Amino acid sequence: MDFTLLMASIGIIIMSLVIIGSATHINTPGEERYYFVQRQGIFTILNIAAAAFFMNFDYKMLQGYGKKLYIFNLVMLLAVMLVGQSALGAQRWISIGPISIQPSEFSKLIMIVCLASVLEERVGKLNTLDDLLPVAAYMGVPFLLVLKQPDLGTSLVFMAIFFGMVFVSGIRLKLLFGIFGAGIAAMPILWHFLKDYQKMRIMVFMDPNVDPLGSGYHIIQSKIAIGSGMLFGKGLFEGTQSQLNFLPENHTDFIFAVVGEELGFIGCVCLLLLYLVVLWRGVQIAKDAGDVFGRLLAVGITSMFAFHILVNVGMTMGIMPVTGIPLPLMSYGVSSLTTNIMAIAILMNIQLRKQKLLF
Amino acid sequence: MTEIDEYGERLKVFGWLAVLVIVVLIARACYLQIYDGETYARLAEGNRIRLIPAMAPRGNFFDRNGELLVVNRPGFTVSLLPLNNPVSDEVVERLSVLLKMPKEDIQQKIDAHVGFDPIRIKTDVMADVYSVIEEQKDKYPGVVIETQPIRDYILNEEGAHTFGYVSEINDVELEKKKDEGYKSGDIIGKFGLEKIYDKELRGADGGEQVEVDVAGKPVRRLGRKEPLPGDDLYLTIDKHIQEAAEKAVDERLRLIHANAAAAVVMNPQTGEVLAMVSRPAFNPNLFARGISVKDWNKLNNNPYHPMDNKTITGEYPPGSTFKIVTGTAALTEGVVSPEEQIFDSGHHWIIPKGNADGEALGWLNFRSAMAHSDNVYFYEMGNRLGIDRLERYARMFGLGAITGIDLPYESDGLVANRKYKEKNFEDGDWYLSETFDAAIGQGFNLVTPLQAAMVMGEIAANGKRFKPHLVNRIVGPDGKIVKEFKPELLSTLDVRPEVIQLVQEGLHEVSTYGTAASIFRGFPVQIAGKTGTAENPHGRDHGWFVAYGPFENPTVVVAVVVEQGGYGAQSAVPIGREILEAAFGIEKPKEDNKAKQAGSN
């Protein structure tokens, strides 16, 4: 068992529950003040139980399910388009009984498994565009479905996962940089396909004053929250920005701002260091993995975490555009929580079974 | 496993990239919290960021010649910026005295408010309130004066029913329109063109982020989004004719001691509405400022319903103006020839119904019967046509259905028919006397003044029915035309041109020797007209007049109804004449009109 990874993850989750409590005004009287913490807590326990059960199985069996998972993923994403509920201008949710699930969250982990099984036999053979194209097309279909929802954030996560995994699979650097070059050249065309609110967010990122009443306001308020936390923070439940509702979405996408305001620079560094441990263990597990599939899985998961952390925390501090992707293991949300705990479980499973091939 | 080791280097690079992510984020947090921490702490502690919305000015209304009809003026609104601490009783009390508002009302507004935008306490306050608050800022912490565009109906009551009015969105409207971007506190069009074209007129609100100090006083502006003004409406209304029509109606109502009337002026060849008057009227400025309970009750309790646009919602028996429909039907169906003479002995030979005053007009043909508005002749036409054919022709003229004008709450009127009687009366059988009544526009028939104008307009335009409309074009704040409204032909009467010509001639004779001749004596433009006196079970008869001119090439059609005005010739016809005078530029006293008159002769 990878105790370092386990402890770091549990540390983040505990911090998450405390901060969600603070952000949802657990200290003010009211009927449902424990709702968010309770819900997140219950699902954490359920997920950890499921993850522990999953430890009994060898992660390698996942490879066999690659194709089935891929089709399941497409069906799920199509279902969102057909029966999904929209929130904030995007269709992302499906309701199953009392729970609404967000398929694009699960979709990330599923795509990591699918990509790992496809890339496994291609490691070292990604030299030309022709070699890469089948893999890109394989990834492209769910990518476009997510983009169509529209969920720009998740589709960018797909790209981060893809590039992280093909990089470690030994793609020729010339090819990789060629793709990046072409991507940059194509940006003006892609701009054209963005929705108005997405364009706005990017423009706001360049200059928050473009939209002082919309997302520009969120960024400014979030920066004020974090900055005003200074070295030690204002203390739990004491953050004026978050307690007075100045911060939007403060228990989901902007949760880092609450950490910054209430726990200060020290709290931020602690949390970021916990993330560093998770990422570093991810890389080590990839290195020590018993097989190529395991190594690619670990790389994909680490890519996913790293990108989420960069974009989410960067957004709250005004160095990344607002894309609405959650902070792993911190943000409130059942779909995201489940996905991330499962991802950690897969990492630990890979670590658990590394020796078997080293006899 | 050799392949894996080959790419171990890649994994190392990958690992360092992950570390870099964390390092960058820690560096940024360090910058925000340690280096710039003081600045942000100041913003977060005593100081705050507030959003102050800047309302977009609504689009202006222009008349067809580019004259301003409805504009905006800057108004002062007293607002409270939401603070961390609850607003002190003292401040509420001071405001209550200053604004002459009950304390509870102010408290209620504060309690009901959520969010960071200012709490609007009172809109459009006088300049003295403004100066008191500005001079004694310390006594009014958190109170700010916002400058907002306030709708200004510069013509006051004139055109009020057409232009409509605006006021704050209510809960029901908000629920319906939330998805279209309407928010609580928005000003929206509630009536008239303001309602129909609200989306185009409203523009997009802007706003600014300001930093305020502990007392809620703005100290620094952080960002601003300019509001985008709404689109302007260029109406089909002619301000000159509108004003003349308003004046003519008011004068006549005063002279004959009547209280309610409506007039519509249109171009029959395009469907453009040139003027619309409804009396009694209201002043839409009352609503723009936030109407007082007293004013509202006064409007609501007025028995003549000043809030109704009688030109489109008032349903009146058409009276003799309906003979246009009956006559057209009789000639088209061939139940009478233009030359056939019918003898009016004072009453009809089957049912003893006659003219209103019981006079007997002797032998009459189609044209003279129309000119004298003889009831016996048209009873006989009804007798020969039967109710079903009468109904068919009435509907062909567009009666019994809304005209589709771009105003809200239009009524559809009623065409007398068997089904209606069956449905609504215990004795559902149809009687000949009811056909008689229908033939002269009494009984079940009901039309709005606009429908009456449309019927006359169809005769004027040789059977063509154009959709009535009030807007020629919508122009964006950049001067670009957003939308243009062209004449829209709705239908054409299925009637031979000779028939229409005969009807036109009969209507022309109304003004030469018929029922409107005395009032149009010496009128320099040849016109066609029809008077009407509609029996009113609730009081004095309603007076009607419909007319068009110039006779050869009609550009103006007018319909006037005076509620309980008695004979059309004494109530509605004089109003019609004054409107036509204005439309043709033949007002008496003014010197400059002589040139126009000479030009038209």
Give the C-alpha separation, A181 to A161, whole Å: 19
> What is the extent of the structural domain holding A92?
3-357
Share of chain B above pLDDT 90, in %: 62
Q: Which residues between 76 and 105 in chain B have a beta carbon less than 8 angstroms from any beta carbon of chain A?
A: 84
The residue among B131, B77, B561, B492 whose CA lies nearest residue B322 is: B561
Token digits for B104? 């509870």
The residue among A347, A295, A349 whose CA lies nearest residue A116 is: A295
Lowest mean pLDDT among B198-202, B540-544, B592-596: B592-596
Give the C-alpha separation, A323 to A152, whole Å: 7
Reduced to 3 DSSP states, what percent helix, strand and coil does chain B have, rounded to the nearest 5?
Answer: 40, 20, 35
Question: What pLDDT does B595 receive?
Answer: 43
Question: What pLDDT does B428 receive?
Answer: 86
- Flag whether residue A228 sits within 8 Å of chain B, measured between CB atoms: yes
Question: What pLDDT does B49 receive?
Answer: 66
- The mean pLDDT value for A12-25 works out to 90
Question: What pLDDT does A187 receive?
Answer: 83
Chain A CB contacts of B19 below 8 Å: 276, 279-280
In chain B, where the domains are located: 2-35, 49-235, 239-600
Q: For chain B, give the mean pLDDT.
A: 88
Q: What phi and psi values does residue B442 have, to the nearest 5 degrees? A: -110, -165
Distances (CA, A) of B360 to A71, B19, B349, B517: 92, 109, 13, 19
Best probe of the A interface among B7, B17, B25, by most A CBs < 10 A, is B25
Looking at chain A, how many residues does it have? 359
Question: What pLDDT does A246 receive?
Answer: 66
Burial A137-174 (b: 16+ CB within 10 A, else e): ebbeebbebbbebbbbbbbbbbebbbbbbbbbbbbeee
Contact A223 B40 (CB under 8 A): yes
Per-residue pLDDT at B500 exceeds 90 = yes
Q: How confident is the model at residue B591 (pLDDT cuts 50, 70, 90)?
A: very low
Three-state SS for B80? Answer: strand
- Flag whether residue B492 sits within 8 Å of chain A, measured between CB atoms: no
Lowest mean pLDDT among A93-97, B130-134, B232-236, B330-334: A93-97
Give the C-alpha separation, A83 to B528, whole Å: 63
- Flag whether residue A271 sits within 8 Å of chain B, measured between CB atoms: no
The residue among B211, B175, B224, B529 whose CA lies nearest residue B373 is: B529
CA distance A4 to chain B (A): 17
Q: Dihedral of CA B547/B550/B551/B555: which sign?
A: negative
Give the C-alpha separation, A247 to A315, whole Å: 13
**Would the CATH topology of B49-235 be identical to that of B239-600?**
no
Contact A283 B15 (CB under 8 A): yes
Contact B14 A167 (CB under 8 A): yes
Chain B CB contacts of A5 below 8 Å: none
Tracing tokens 């306050």 back to the chain, one arrives at B125
Q: Which of A212, A225, A272 is opposite residue B222, by nearest beta carbon? A: A212
Best probe of the A interface among B5, B32, B48, by most A CBs < 10 A, is B32
User: Over B585-598, what HEC string results?
Assistant: CCCCCCCCHHHHHH
Best probe of the B interface among A5, A204, A226, A320, by most B CBs < 10 A, is A226
Token digits for B482? 């957003």
* Cα nearest neighbour of B17 on chain A: A306
The residue among B545, B458, B440 whose CA lies nearest residue B494 is: B458
CA distance B216 to chain A (A): 15
Best probe of the B interface among A200, A203, A223, A224, by most B CBs < 10 A, is A224
Best probe of the A interface among B13, B16, B19, B21, by most A CBs < 10 A, is B21
Q: Which residues between 122 and 141 in chain A have a beta carbon less than 8 angstroms from any beta carbon of chain B?
A: 123-124
- Flag whether residue B47 sits within 8 Å of chain A, measured between CB atoms: no
In this predicted model, what pLDDT tens digit does every residue of B157-206 receive, in sequence order?
999 999 999 988 887 887 777 667 787 778 899 999 999 999 999 988 87
Q: How confident is the model at residue B276 (pLDDT cuts 50, 70, 90)?
A: very high
Question: Got the DSSP string for A274-294?
Answer: HHHHHHHHHHHHHHH-SSHHH
Contact A314 B22 (CB under 8 A): no
Per-residue pLDDT at B364 exceeds 50 = yes
* Cα nearest neighbour of B52 on chain A: A213
Quick check: pTM over 0.95? no
Give the C-alpha separation, B338 to B368, whole Å: 10
Q: For chain A, give the mean pLDDT.
A: 86
Give the C-alpha separation, B125 to B143, whole Å: 14
- Flag whether residue A240 sits within 8 Å of chain B, measured between CB atoms: yes
Token digits for B481? 């035309």
Contact B29 A286 (CB under 8 A): no
Best probe of the A interface among B2, B22, B55, by most A CBs < 10 A, is B22
The CATH number given to B239-600 is 3.40.710.10
Question: Got the DSSP string for B288-350?
Answer: HT---HHHHHHHHH-TT-TTS-HHHH--B--GGGGHHHHHHHHHHHTSS-TT--EEESSS-SS
Per-residue pLDDT at B127 exceeds 70 = yes
Contact B19 A279 (CB under 8 A): yes
Q: Which of B3, B18, B19 is opposite residue A124, by nearest beta carbon? A: B3
Give the C-alpha separation, B534 to B441, whole Å: 8
In this predicted model, what pLDDT tens digit does every residue of A64-113 receive, in sequence order?
888 899 999 999 888 888 876 655 445 566 766 666 788 889 999 999 99
Per-residue pLDDT at B599 exceeds 80 = no
Question: What pLDDT does B34 receive?
Answer: 93
Per-residue pLDDT at B386 exceeds 90 = yes
- Dihedral-angle region of residue B585 (phi above 0 means left; psi in -120 to 50 means alpha; beta otherwise): left
The CATH number given to B49-235 is 3.90.1310.10
Token digits for A135? 């893999």
Contact B17 A306 (CB under 8 A): yes
Tracing tokens 């029913």 back to the chain, one arrives at B161
Chain B CB contacts of A283 below 8 Å: 11, 14-15, 18
- The mean pLDDT value for A205-215 works out to 64
Reduced to 3 DSSP states, what percent helix, strand and coil does chain A have, rounded to the nearest 5?
Answer: 70, 5, 25
Lowest mean pLDDT among A87-101, A144-158, A172-186: A87-101
Pairs of CB atoms within 8 A across A/B: 165
Higher local confidence (pLDDT), B158 or B84: B158
Contact A229 B37 (CB under 8 A): yes
Higher local confidence (pLDDT), B366 or B356: B366
CA distance A72 to chain B (A): 30
- Flag whether residue A227 sits within 8 Å of chain B, measured between CB atoms: yes
- Total domains in the fold of chain A: 1
The residue among B313, B307, B314, B284 whose CA lies nearest residue B409 is: B313
CA distance A33 to chain B (A): 19
Whether the CB-CB separation of B227 and B55 falls below 8 Å is answered with yes
Q: What phi and psi values does residue B573 have, to the nearest 5 degrees? A: -65, -45
Q: Which residues between 105 and 164 in chain B have a beta carbon less than 8 angstroms from any beta carbon of chain A?
A: 116
Chain B CB contacts of A267 below 8 Å: none
Contact A167 B18 (CB under 8 A): no
Per-residue pLDDT at A302 exceeds 70 = yes
Share of chain B above pLDDT 70, in %: 92
User: Over B533-560, what HEC string results?
Assistant: EECCCCCCCEEEEEEEECCCCCCEEEEE
- Flag whether residue A176 sits within 8 Å of chain B, measured between CB atoms: no
Contact B33 A292 (CB under 8 A): no
According to DSSP, residue B400 is labeled T
* Cα nearest neighbour of A226 on chain B: B33
Classify strands B61-62 and B232-235 as parallel, antiparallel or unpaired. Answer: parallel
- From start to end of chain A, where are the E strands? 85-87, 90-96, 99-101
Three-state SS for B414? Answer: strand
Q: Please report, in angstroms and rounded to a whole number, the separation of the first and last CA atoms in chain B.
A: 106
Higher local confidence (pLDDT), B485 or A208: B485
Q: Which of A217, A220, A287 is opposite residue B11, by nearest beta carbon? A: A287
CA distance A349 to chain B (A): 19
CA distance A251 to chain B (A): 18
Question: What pLDDT does B1 receive?
Answer: 42
Whether the CB-CB separation of B470 and B193 falls below 8 Å is answered with yes
